[in-house]
Chain A
């Protein structure tokens, strides 16, 4: 590949050298200038809608958008002239006049791009009358709230939904001041193609798309002395929550986080890594059983609730391919309210089970009737990483400065295999470590399966040698890639035995419930941190986790036993479509999926 030409330009009279093809906004960043912007997002294609980033270029009649304009040799950029200031403040005022400004009660207060711009421009009040729409927030599903009165029409959510996830549940509609971001026919989100992955809430610069806030439920439970309030922490949280407290991307805060949760009053703090190991035991055994007994293949992972929603809504023909093993969250909830409750002599109804997840779709998962019994749900409340940070702030805790603590036993021991669940390829690698040893009855010579370690937004395929038996696998993250894998499976182009699908880019560390400002760069840092964590752990295989061995001895017997089927496995259902055209559409189908009978 040829080296890119170097372009010389000046920004505010400072000389800058950047490769050809760089845009002004990126060039400015190299010398520490942050050009104001709203619609620009480093991981997305350029939109140039908001016009906040207008700058002056010598010799140009018009102002140019820094996000979309490529640098050229000899370009002279000015980002702070009066003309630029007037245009930027003017655009800001235009946006503010159409923005429902109830900042004090907005969930993005203090964490809002628009608010930051107002602070930066010292803009207290726009010099234009308020023209915002008085519209109530739309609370029509357990995961995501839409507040159209706050939308600034930047289009980031539209891009992530269509370009990254390939769902297209959100789009611009209408024209002029009727232009808004909404679903097809303005329907409630759960009646659309939306799978509740929450990537839109992660990129929204303001409070127009947010997670459903459940922090008050948790506070009430913590204040209720009759409840045993127990919390589980998903693998990816420990490398992401630090972001919200000014720590370096990917910094590991497990011990401090446990201290924080104990200080908040959680009676027990447990690790979802434990149930991730349990998932591997069940899923790994399921894989071997399907291969040996001729079950439906490829087996596809079911840990990612965004993916499960996608499959149920858009590809119900794949239901038989999904692992029936519950997600680690689901398994943990079930173990907590059965095995652990019995052990402690607690009435399951007195347990308030909280899980901290990187994910908005987990909020929906927890409401599935299959994940509960005798009139209670296994997980009572799911908090996203962002809500966790809010609770820590409410408590007034300085997370980085807290001492370290250990998880409670016995549901607090997780192996390195469980830890890497948070990264794309992690479930695959963890399963391979166990499946290899269970299948070959030999010790694995090398634990790392680098060939399945994914990258953000990628598709990876590999053939693993199970001591002579080839095992063709695939790993994808991002639902657009999932669609491609499904196409390959259904067209017969590839014959995988085992496929890992994560709905969000990079896996859970890039989930829709992660801290605002999660970019692909940060995702990469978190992935690295999780693999580092695994490397340093003494225990790196799920089947060697002593607590896992104990729970099978004491309670479940063996993987895929009757009891584990009852508690650790689940079922999936095709989601009814708004309209079912199958009798009409059948003759137009290009090919019939092989798996569809």
Chain B
């Protein structure tokens, strides 16, 4: 099996991302033309047949999502592209946005056609503000060329526009309903569900939210006559995935890999291995909300099932953060905890209050002054957070801690003198 492949990234470096003409010269927008001859259900079926799961973290069957969005009645619907890539250690969407913006726009237009939407919104994190001018210009060029606007490519009644909205530094806005709140000019506090955003999302309209990578995958999939995508990966998890590898590795970066590759191959073959003279301590998968893998788990297959079977975060955002022995496990957990203390929206009790108490427990553990009682309480509140929080942020904030308690029990051991006391 080759270590990295080129499917979603096939256009990288092949055209000038500032120029629509340059994109058209390499075959851009043929997928859209093909899609416009298909009906929405057929497009959704292509996604389902290829086993595409959403790339944002929740891994929802994308074809199903589109056909559900299509079946929601209503004269106005929207497609939202979630470009709020906020998981620390994730930067694969940045590559797609900067190196192949037209593929994303094409994917969004196909999404609009497929689900019957009249507006598309790209919600891009503020941290990527430097990509705004290029993306705005790309949207403008598409409008001028008739790929956006009224009666697109002569299809009577297919009116669709794309708008670029900016986040402003809030990790929680990656959550669908918080994103919708932010799009409407409010603080990004997640909404109560139901209603679900597929029925009532942005601007109170039925909303179909997809990640940048999910949408960018659509054009190559529609053109994939030979079944290249499906031939990649493993039988129960076909296809390729973009991953961001960073931390204490020699060659950090974004790689497109076939599913089924092992963590070892990712770290040692693609990212050049651990920095000189150091040893692997742990790997965090999927960003700050991801579980920790110990060095013993390096041969785990990178598939949804394989990761789940190893009690690891199932792919998620595709982040692979490699940490060597210079950072202790507790030290690392404190970094993650600090992130959640900063990013909790503060709306629901378990997440707002839980994070700060967990941070205090971790501080005690780092000092070595904790007791068995502290450990029990810490685990209790971590569990309450994951079971009683209002949204996915609070639910997954303690993934790293809970997995570390299983995988690195020795670092939590109570110091003897404290135990006696």
Contact = CB atoms under 8 A, between A and B. Distances in A.
Direct contact of A and B (CB under 8 A): yes
Interface of A: 46-52, 54, 62-63, 65, 68, 70, 83, 86-87, 90-91, 94-95, 97-98, 127-129, 131, 152-153, 172, 174-179
22 contacts: A48-B348, A50-B348, A51-B350, A51-B389, A54-B387, A83-B387, A90-B388, A91-B350, A91-B388, A95-B353, A129-B360, A131-B353, A153-B349, A153-B352, A172-B346, A175-B343, A176-B342, A176-B344, A176-B355, A176-B356, A177-B346, A177-B356
A425 to B, nearest CB: 33
Q: Which of B360, B381, B387, B395 has the most CB of A within 10 A?
A: B387
B237 to A, nearest CB: 22
B388 A63 contact: yes
A62 B387 contact: yes
A97 B353 CA distance: 9
B346 to A, nearest CB: 3
Contacts of B348: 48-51
A86 B349 contact: no
Interface string B118-134: 00000000000000000
Nearest to B359: A177
Prevailing SS type, chain B contact patch: helix
B54 to A, nearest CB: 19
Instruction: Enumerate the 8 nearest inter-chain pairs by beta-carbon distance, A residue then B residue, closest first.
Output: A179-B346, A94-B353, A176-B344, A90-B384, A48-B192, A176-B346, A51-B388, A54-B388
A50 B357 contact: no
B384 A46 contact: no
A97 B357 CA distance: 10
Contacts of B347: 49, 153, 172, 179
A82 B102 CA distance: 54
Nearest to A53: B388
Contacts of A54: 387-388
A129 B358 CA distance: 11
A179 B345 contact: yes
A91 B349 CA distance: 7
Contacts of B381: 90, 94, 128
B185 to A, nearest CB: 13
Interface string B41-58: 000000000000000000
A103 B76 CA distance: 52
Contact of A46 (B170, B192, B342, B380): B192
A50 B194 contact: no
Interface in B165-190: 170, 187, 189
A176 B353 CA distance: 8
Interface of B: 170, 187, 189, 192-194, 341-350, 352-357, 360, 377, 380-381, 384, 387-390, 395
Q: Which of B343, B360, B380, B388 has the most CB of A within 10 A?
A: B388
B384 A86 contact: yes
A512 B53 CA distance: 52
Contact of A153 (B170, B194, B346, B356): B346
Nearest to A56: B387
Contacts, number: 103
Contacts of A152: 349
B352 A131 contact: no
Contact of B380 (A70, A90, A129, A174): A90
A176 to B, nearest CB: 4
Nearest to B386: A62
A467 B352 CA distance: 64
A49 B348 CA distance: 4
A150 B176 CA distance: 32
Contacts of B349: 49-52, 91, 94-95, 152-153
Nearest to B357: A128
Contacts of B343: 175-176
A185 to B, nearest CB: 15
Contacts of A62: 387-388, 395
A218 B346 CA distance: 41
B187 A91 contact: no
Contacts of B344: 175-177
B356 A131 contact: yes
Nearest to A54: B388
Contact of A127 (B346, B350, B377, B384): B377
Contacts of A178: 346
B377 A177 contact: no
A177 B354 CA distance: 10
B388 A177 contact: no
A177 B357 contact: no
A91 B388 CA distance: 9
A48 B355 CA distance: 19
Contact of B346 (A63, A90, A175): A175
A51 to B, nearest CB: 5
Given A68-B192, A176-B341, A94 B357 contact: yes
B395 A128 contact: no
B350 A94 contact: yes
A46 B388 CA distance: 16
Contacts of A98: 353
Contacts of B342: 175-176
A46 B344 CA distance: 20
Contacts of A50: 348-349
Given A50-B348, A98-B353, 10 more contacts: A49-B347, A49-B348, A50-B349, A51-B388, A51-B389, A87-B384, A90-B384, A94-B384, A128-B381, A152-B349
Contacts of B384: 86-87, 90-91, 94
A68 B177 CA distance: 15
A47 B390 CA distance: 10
Contacts of A63: 387-388
Contacts of A177: 341, 344, 346, 352-353, 355-356
Contacts of A90: 350, 380-381, 384, 388
B298 to A, nearest CB: 29
B137 to A, nearest CB: 30
Contacts of B389: 51
A177 B355 CA distance: 9
Contacts of B356: 131, 176-177
Nearest to A98: B353
Contacts of B170: 175
A98 B387 CA distance: 21
